[in-house]
Structure 1
Amino acid sequence: MGIIDAAFDSIGGVLSDQWKDIVTAAPFDEHTIVAPGIRKDSQNGRGANYGAEDILSNGSIIFVPENTAAFVFSQSGIEQVITQPGGFEYRNGEATVFDEQDRREKGIGKILLGQAADRIGFSGMSSEEKRVAFVNLREIRGLKFGTRGPLAYNDLFYGTDLEVYSYGSFAVQVMNPEAFVQNFVPANVTSYSLDDPQARTQLLSEFLQSFISAVNSLSAEYRISQLPSQANSIASRISTEEGNAGTWPERFGLRLTSVAIENIEFSEESRELIRQFSEKKMGVRAYEDASQQAANIAAQQMIAEGVRNNGLGDGGGMLFGMNLASVLNPQNATFAGASTAPTEPQTENAKTSSLDNQIETLKKLKELLDAGILSQDEFDAKKREILGL
């Protein structure tokens, strides 16, 4: 009884599988990397192709979308890879009475009876098994990452190791679909998405290892606040690394295309170190400004004291000293704007500026002379000194 049932199953299966198939890709979402081929079985109420899902007849059409690669799988693995977009006629399936070439070579009777006889030995099943899957060759973006623990970064500005957390996303692209299917996608899988945590775990772990290494290699050149602007450099360093994500092209036929750093956060300890550093730096700057101002005042007072002690009298000496100090450089007691080091010949503008300073100083001395604070001899002596006579 079992053999008779197998015979009827074989005949029914052969007849239902004679139809040619039209195979298209299932819809891709943003992170789908492998989508199954789906068979079109009806159109506007017409069509009744309800044969086996894993049987492809000769003359069937496989439609390959742009930026995808179609894979035909048999029991032994990859049978054929189609990378050109468009409609592809499949010729390595089961013979069908609806294919002109098969009818001419085998005849209708041999096709039907031969297939039915073969199936009886397998309890009505076909020994052929063909499936179609499509690999996404587009860039797959928005794969989120985040450092699970603090990342030590030796910031050149602060001169110390800071602990930071980094968040962002990266993008990948299949560059060798055959290597990707053979080495990354699990066996006998025709649907695969990087939204699946199990699918993404290996990529994410290796990416983070490479990311940490790439970031630390930049610490000698960039402050930590500059890292987001160095995303392209980080991606390049990851891609050229000898381990982890740098090996993806050879191992998986997959390459890292971009890295986007969305945020960098300091740990609480590092944030406190930066706060203390900023407070101390502001305190030191305020102290330096106050010290410089006090030093200038002290220098001016010393200049005035020196003029007073050189015979100009208490009141007049102090008045003359303070006026003279206002036009002197408190660092070296030279006239402001004048240079104490030998210089190259002055330009016309420089000469005019020097002459203006001399005239201004002589005017101040003349005011002291008219006020009776300086004697004519003292005025003449200072005049000769200023004019270099």
Structure 2
Amino acid sequence: MGIFDAAFDSLGGVLADQWKDVVTVAPFDEHTAVAPGIRKSSQNGRGANMGAEDILSNGSIIFVPENTAAFIFSQAGIEQVITQPGGFEYRDGEASVFDEQDRREKGLGKIILDQAVDRIGFSGMSSEEKRVAFVNLREMRGLKFGTRGPLAYNDFFYGTDLEVFSYGSFSVQVSDPELFVRNFVPANVSSYSLDDPQARSQLLSEFLNSFIAAVNSLSATYRVSQLPSQTNEIAAAISSEDENAGTWPERFGLRLAAVAIENIEFSDESRELVRQFSEKKMGVRAYEDVSQRAANVAAQQMIAQGVRDNGLGDGGGMLFGMDLAQSLNPQNASTPSSQGSPSATSLDDQIETLKKLKDLLDLGILSQQEFDAKKREILGL
């Protein structure tokens, strides 16, 4: 009785699976890496393809969307990979009475009889098994990361190791779909997402190890506050590493596409170090400014006193000395006795000084005798 049941089941299965299939894929979400192929069973209320989900008939159409790769799996594994977008006619499935080439080569009766006899030996099941899955070739973005503990960053500006926490996201892209399916996706799986805890944990651990090494390689060049603007260099350093995330292309057919650092925070201890450093630096700058101003004032007073000592009187000394103080660099100024000698002053300086003396004479501040005496002194007469 079991043989007769198997015969009826086999014949019913053969007839149901004669329909050619139209296979496509459901929409991907942001982190979907592999999605199963979906057989259309009806359209606008028409059609009732009730064939088995793991049987593909010759002449079936597989629609491959942009930026995806279609994988056809048999019992032995990957049978075929389709990377070109568009409609693909499948020819390596079970013969179908609805396929013109099969009818011409085998005839209707032989197609049904051969398949029915084959299935009886397997209790009504087909020995064939074909599945279709699609691999996402787009950039899969927004994979969040965060350092679990403080990251030591030797900041050249502060000259010390700072402890920082970093947060952000990275994106990956399948670069070799066949290698990705063979080495990263678990066996016999036609649906896989990077939101899977085990997949995310593996990628995140390796990424963080590479991220820490890449960030520290920049510490001799960039301040910690400049790191968010150096994401391209960080991504390049990670990709060129010989371990962890740098090996993804060769191990998994997966590459790091981009890194985005959203925030870098100091630990409490490092924040206090930076605050103390900033306060000390501001104090040093303020002290230097006050010291410079005090030195300038002292030099100006010394110049004015020197002019008064050389016979110009209190009023003339004050005006003439302050005028010289404005035109001289106080740090390089010497006493008027040396400035007044012909060997220490140029002709232009002598003429300029005489012009100033003449202005004081015209204002009545200097007498004619004082002017003449000072003129002889300046000209070395």
TM-score by length of 2: 0.89
Asked whether the 8 Å contact 2:70–2:132 carries over to 1, the reply is yes
The number of equivalent residue pairs is 373
Q: Distance in 1 between matches of 2:161 and 2:369?
A: 66
Asked whether the 8 Å contact 1:300–1:322 carries over to 2, the reply is yes
Equivalent residue, structure 1, for 2:343: none
Asked whether the 8 Å contact 2:316–2:360 carries over to 1, the reply is no
Equivalent residue, structure 2, for 1:84: 84
* Matching of residues 229-248 of structure 1 within 5 Å: 229-248=229-248
Q: Which amino acid aligns with 1:159?
A: G
- Which string of whole-angstrom CA distances, capped at 9 and with x for unpartnered residues, describes residues 210-235 of structure 1? 11111111111111111121111111
Q: Which amino acid aligns with 1:366?
A: L
Q: Does 1:210 align with 2:215?
A: no
Equivalent residue, structure 2, for 1:279: 279
Q: Distance in 2 between matches of 1:24 and 1:298?
A: 89
Equivalent residue, structure 2, for 1:361: 356
Q: Which amino acid aligns with 2:179?
A: A
CA RMSD of aligned residues (A): 2.8
Report the secondary structure of 2:179's partner residue.
helix
> What's the CA shift for 1:206?
1.2
> What's the CA shift for 1:15?
1.3
- Which string of whole-angstrom CA distances, capped at 9 and with x for unpartnered residues, describes residues 104-152 of structure 1? 2222222222212211221111111100001111111222211111111
Asked whether the 8 Å contact 1:16–1:50 carries over to 2, the reply is yes
- Which string of whole-angstrom CA distances, capped at 9 and with x for unpartnered residues, describes residues 2-50 of structure 1? 2222222111111111111111112211211111000000111111111
Asked whether the 8 Å contact 1:312–1:374 carries over to 2, the reply is no
Equivalent residue, structure 1, for 2:72: 72
Asked whether the 8 Å contact 1:19–1:49 carries over to 2, the reply is yes
Q: Which amino acid aligns with 2:77?
A: G
Gapped runs of 5+ residues in structure 2? Answer: 340-345
Q: Distance in 1 between matches of 2:27 and 2:319?
A: 93
Q: 1:360 to 1:161 in 2, by over 3 A?
A: farther
Q: Distance in 1 between matches of 2:369 and 2:76?
A: 115
Q: Which amino acid aligns with 1:14?
A: V
* Matching of residues 182-193 of structure 1 within 5 Å: 182-193=182-193
Asked whether the 8 Å contact 2:150–2:164 carries over to 1, the reply is yes
> What's the CA shift for 1:76?
0.8
Q: Which amino acid aligns with 1:378?
A: A
Q: Which amino acid aligns with 2:199?
A: A
Q: Distance in 2 between matches of 1:319 and 1:59?
A: 108
> What's the CA shift for 1:363?
3.8
Equivalent residue, structure 2, for 1:141: 141
Asked whether the 8 Å contact 2:350–2:379 carries over to 1, the reply is no
Asked whether the 8 Å contact 2:23–2:38 carries over to 1, the reply is yes
Q: Distance in 2 between matches of 1:132 and 1:91?
A: 14
- Which string of whole-angstrom CA distances, capped at 9 and with x for unpartnered residues, describes residues 132-181 of structure 1? 00111111122221111111111121111111111111121111110110
Gapped runs of 5+ residues in structure 1? Answer: 340-345
* Matching of residues 297-316 of structure 1 within 5 Å: 297-309=297-309
Q: 1:374 to 1:202 in 2, by over 3 A?
A: farther
Asked whether the 8 Å contact 2:32–2:194 carries over to 1, the reply is yes
Q: Distance in 2 between matches of 1:104 and 1:324?
A: 114
Larger CA deviation: 37-46 vs 311-320: 311-320
> What's the CA shift for 1:307?
4.4
> What's the CA shift for 1:189?
0.7
Q: 1:71 to 1:223 in 2, by over 3 A?
A: same
Q: Which amino acid aligns with 1:65?
A: P
> What's the CA shift for 1:364?
5.3
Q: Distance in 2 between matches of 1:316 and 1:174?
A: 86
Q: Distance in 2 between matches of 1:376 and 1:85?
A: 100
Report the secondary structure of 1:167's partner residue.
strand
Q: Distance in 2 between matches of 1:321 and 1:86?
A: 91
Q: 1:248 to 1:291 in 2, by over 3 A?
A: same
TM-score by length of 1: 0.87
- Which string of whole-angstrom CA distances, capped at 9 and with x for unpartnered residues, describes residues 219-266 of structure 1? 111111111211111111111111111111111111112111121111
Asked whether the 8 Å contact 1:151–1:212 carries over to 2, the reply is yes
Q: Distance in 2 between matches of 1:179 and 1:223?
A: 39
Report the secondary structure of 1:73's partner residue.
strand
Equivalent residue, structure 2, for 1:25: 25
Asked whether the 8 Å contact 1:192–1:199 carries over to 2, the reply is no
The sequence identity of aligned pairs, in percent, is 78
Equivalent residue, structure 2, for 1:172: 172
* Matching of residues 220-235 of structure 1 within 5 Å: 220-235=220-235
Report the secondary structure of 1:261's partner residue.
strand
> What's the CA shift for 1:360?
4.9
Equivalent residue, structure 1, for 2:201: 201
- Which string of whole-angstrom CA distances, capped at 9 and with x for unpartnered residues, describes residues 70-102 of structure 1? 100011100001111111111111112112222
